[in-house]
């Protein structure tokens, strides 16, 4: 997938309160560490212990944590890194502290924290400078999209070369990711994938577009045999079938019934006609008595 980010790339992982993108962020850190790159994490929302706990199986020798979690606003006497130090010079100084031949990846957890305290234009400017400067190989930022106004989220995302928006999936621990990639030629690609993250922080893409998603669940539903668990029997054995065929239904007009009705037995009603003398019955004209 997007495991190998380009040089000078800027990736944003957008999440919301319903699904945390930190797990995906961890797998990006893990991937970068496994590529033997050095990773600098600027942690506002996560403590060092928590981060390392999440990265148990990764080679963390090249992971450098900059603790902005304990005191981001300088409320105590010895702040390590405050939010107001978020500028190009400070960041370059941080990354250069450790001498590595290769430029490092900078992970910011999270941009939301910075955006809450520094005006969005200033943040955008710093990020843009960081991209141009070339001191870092790539920048990966986590952004809680539901904490900011749409305009702010939009303007930060315009700077990014890739944006991944994560949302909870339909079932299980799978999640849906909407990926927007901008290549250097200016082409924009959009994609939607369902993924899940394994315990060793590898990302597994389960299926591609979302449009087939609902269809698949439909076919699964159809496959279920509705006659599987019934309390009664739907099929007939041979003897049962013949017995059923023999049975005469009550309202079927059979031959016996017909003859029984037509040839009624003796004693039943019969019409006897004896012509009266007054009956002036003309054989020639049967309708003579009618005044027509």
Partner 1 sequence: MYTELNSILNTTPDSFTQGEFILVSDRQSDASFLMHHFLSFYLRARCKVCFLGLVQSFSHYNAVGQRLGVSLVQAKEKGQLIFFEGLKESLSVLISQESNTKSQAIDFLRDPSVGLRSLYEFVRCTVSSSSGGGEKGADGAEEWGPPVLLVDDLSVLLSLGVTVGTVLDFSHYCRATVCSQLQGNMVMLTRCDGEEEADDGDDEGSERLHRGLTHQCSLTLHVQGLPTGYCRDIHGQVEVCWRRRQGDGQHTQKKLFQYKVHDKGASFFARGTSSAVL
Q: How far is CA 250 from CA 16, 247, 254, 257, 261, in A?
A: 69, 9, 10, 11, 15
CA–CA separation, 84 and 87 (whole Å): 8
**Is residue 253 a contact residue for partner 1 (CB under 8 A)?**
no
- Supply the minimum distance, in Å, between the C-beta of residue 255 and partner 1: 59
CA–CA separation, 204 and 98 (whole Å): 33
CA–CA separation, 3 and 5 (whole Å): 6
- Which pair of structure tokens corresponds to residue 83? 């939010």
Residue 55 vs 104, nearer CB to partner 1: 55
CA–CA separation, 4 and 212 (whole Å): 27
Which span (112-120, 185-193, 238-246, 275-283) binds partner 1, by CB under 8 A?
112-120
| Dihedral angle of Cα 61, 63, 66, 70, to the nearest 10 degrees | -80
**Is residue 64 a contact residue for partner 1 (CB under 8 A)?**
no
Write out the binding residues for partner 1, residues 13-52 only, by CB under 8 A. Answer: 16-17, 19-20, 22-23, 26, 45, 47, 49-50
From candidates 77, 199, 274, 276, binder to partner 1 by CB under 8 A: 199
CA–CA separation, 207 and 175 (whole Å): 11
Which span (88-96, 139-147, 156-164, 213-221) binds partner 1, by CB under 8 A?
139-147
From candidates 6, 37, 88, 117, binder to partner 1 by CB under 8 A: 117
> Position of tokens 């400017």?
125
**Is residue 149 a contact residue for partner 1 (CB under 8 A)?**
yes
- Supply the minimum distance, in Å, between the C-beta of residue 229 and partner 1: 21
> Where do contacts with partner 1 occur on this chain (CB under 8 A)?
16-17, 19-20, 22-23, 26, 45, 47, 49-50, 53-54, 69-73, 75, 112, 116-117, 144, 146-147, 149-150, 168, 173, 198-199
């Amino acid at each position: 997938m997007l495991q190998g980010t380009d040089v000078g790339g800027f990736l944003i992982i957008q999440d919301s309160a319903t699904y945390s993108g930190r797990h995906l962020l961890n797998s990006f850190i893990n991937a970068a560490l496994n590529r033997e790159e050095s990773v600098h994490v600027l942690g506002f929302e996560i403590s060092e212990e928590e981060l390392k706990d999440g990265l148990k199986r990764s080679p963390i020798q090249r992971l450098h944590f900059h603790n902005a979690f304990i005191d981001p606003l300088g409320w105590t006497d010895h702040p390590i890194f405050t939010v107001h130090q978020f500028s190009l010079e400070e960041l370059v100084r941080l990354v250069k502290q450790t001498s590595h031949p290769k430029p490092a990846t900078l992970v910011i957890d999270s941009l939301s924290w910075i955006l809450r305290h520094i005006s969005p234009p200033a943040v955008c400017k710093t990020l843009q400078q960081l991209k141009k400067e070339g001191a870092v190989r790539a920048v990966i930022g986590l952004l809680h999209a539901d904490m900011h106004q749409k305009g702010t989220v939009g303007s930060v995302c315009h700077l990014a070369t890739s944006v991944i928006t994560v949302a909870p999936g339909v079932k299980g621990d799978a999640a849906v990711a909407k990926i927007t990639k901008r290549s250097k030629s200016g082409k924009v690609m959009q994609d939607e994938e369902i993924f899940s993250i394994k315990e060793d922080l590898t990302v597994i893409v389960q299926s591609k577009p979302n449009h087939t998603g609902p269809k698949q669940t439909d076919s699964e539903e159809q496959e279920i045999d509705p006659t599987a668990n019934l309390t009664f029997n739907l099929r007939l054995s041979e003897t049962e079938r013949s017995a059923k065929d023999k049975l005469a239904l009550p309202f079927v007009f059979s031959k016996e019934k017909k003859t029984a009705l037509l040839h009624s037995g003796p004693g039943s009603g019969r019409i006897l006609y004896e012509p009266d003398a007054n009956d002036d019955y003309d054989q020639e004209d049967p309708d003579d008595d009618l005044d027509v």
